[in-house]
Chains A and B, each alone.
Chain A
Amino acid sequence: MGRSAVMAPVPSKLYSDDVSLLVVLLDTNPFFWSTASLPFSKFLSHVLAFLNSILLINQLNQVVVIATGCNSCNFIFDSSSVPANPNLENGRMPALCSNLLQKLEEFVTGDEKLSKEVLAAGIGSSLLSGSLSMALCYIQRVFRTGPLHPQPRILCLQGSPDGPEQYVAVMNAIFSAQRSMVPIDSCVIGAQHSAFLQQASYITGGVYLKPQQLDGLFQYLSTVFATDLHSRRFLQLPKPAGVDFRASCFCHKNTIDMGYICSVCLSIFCKHHKKCSTCGSVFGQAQSDGNSATDRKRKTPET
């Protein structure tokens, strides 16, 4: 990515409350796209048309695209940066498409090269926690530019299944987005619902949608996800239905509605145990300081 241009100061009357910064997290996981019902090229044409429409709605709108790969994540496109080839005619429109596609191709090739020979059990998922974290860092930079800035939001275009190993990282990102008041919208193009994204959209006040007909994807994107945050108050957008907040037990990964929580580390178990498998605390006795660096005598013997 080249250096971003400094955002030129704009007279205050042009910064109305419907200026948006849209950060799009694009799932490029080849394991998902090789079996998806919608081909990747058709998907891209829907998305590019949608991104163009965002930039047309308001000349101050900004679009940033981050690719979520299966081995890496990276920034693909930033509409506020100086285009590589300023000699193209017709302003930004053709430059947007060719720029984005070129960077995307470089990213996908690089991502595939990083694939290790032996595939771990958790493969099949993309690095959603990585691209969410990068998006939030970028949005914090926009907040730092001062009181005049566009309203940021994140749109996840996700098809890969959730990776349970990313649970803590994804939840951390969700809570940070909630505190910064950045909504996370989700458009799920895979076969199954995503519990992570349902929770993300519910907690941050975004919109969650799993479109029924993927060949009309552009219609869904432009009617549900194109509007700025201010206008959402007047629109009827899809409401969250049946968000599952039950927990999974650490021992079997089953969903449970009643369980036992270790008071030291908050691990969840479905049955009573004598000892916590995560932190080693023995229940019912004052635990010894096994985790700290200081050398302390154990107060109670382990039975």
Chain B
Amino acid sequence: TSVQCDWCVAFPWFGMDIGGTLVKLVYFEPKDITAEEEQEEVENLKSIRRYLTSNIAYGTTGIRDVHLELQDLTLCGRKGNLHFIRFPTHDLPVFLQMGRNKHFSSLHTTLCATGGGAYKFENDFRTMADLQLHKLDELDCLVRGVLYIDSVMSSGPSECYYFENPTDPDHCVQKPYLLENPYPLLLVNIGSGVSILAVYSENNYKRVTGTSLGGGTFLGLCCLLTGCSTFEEALEMASEGESTRVDKLVRDIYGGDYERFGLPGWAVASSFGNMMSKEKRESVSKEDLARATLVTITNNIGSITRMCALNENIERVVFVGNFLRVNTLSMKLLAYAMDYWSKGQLKALFLRHEGYFGAVGALLELLHPS
């Protein structure tokens, strides 16, 4: 028999993070439901559970990241699986319509939501789906989510990892990292934009800075430059392109290294610098442009992060956010940049659940209000 607690919040347990581009949803599926419970369970609740857990795609744009699912998790005394679902923010009305159709509001649950959309769409939740949102700060949720996911023992692959030999492409391999004593930590969340936080303890963190050059910029520019329309498409193109045809490198200007200032010839001197020339504009491919965009945005995040790490005197950097989803290219670039420009002082770390920490934090807030 499972350990139960009567003070626990009623099911369903959701955590939601409504960002500028994506809505991230985490759903806890209890696996320890007793027969007695099953009998009492209302039909709506069952139908929601069945719908979410038996599908991996919802509508045309909703996706469940099955590989991220955390099984046999104990949350608030209940055992179950944690599911990770995402869909584009512009499809939120579809989601709300579905909630209305499934009479979600009859469950009298509190929906904990974070991200800007929790504020922007609060009214839509009320009017379209008769749902009252419990709004939470996104950075509070992010920090809480990261620290929680990292702490839970899971049978799957290690949550935290890094790249060994980041400066040697042939021997650069992903390795698990044990984030035992994580503080202080620089947490870089790359969503549509970027936020950089210095985390000193579970309850002590500050937002150091942020930049508007983030995942949204990569996708936005790629759409304009190549005519693509999805992140996956843009990444696919980038993986096939060559940024050095687009960017002006140090060696393009100095013929080699700029020794006086210790700049290697391969370093980018001017992003898109070759595109000042008409002939070169005509000779590059869409793939080259996509790759250059990716490299530009990634390196810039790397630079700002490195400066923040120096200013805050922190050596460990954890990169999260959906920009890094299926984006090994950027992760390796970040790992390289951190290592190279800091002469090995800085370590770039990554987390498997990339963009879901805000949603996890929202769920935790539902179960353990802080």
Whether A associates with B in a native complex is no
A interface residues, Cβ below 8 angstroms from B: none
B interface residues, Cβ below 8 angstroms from A: none
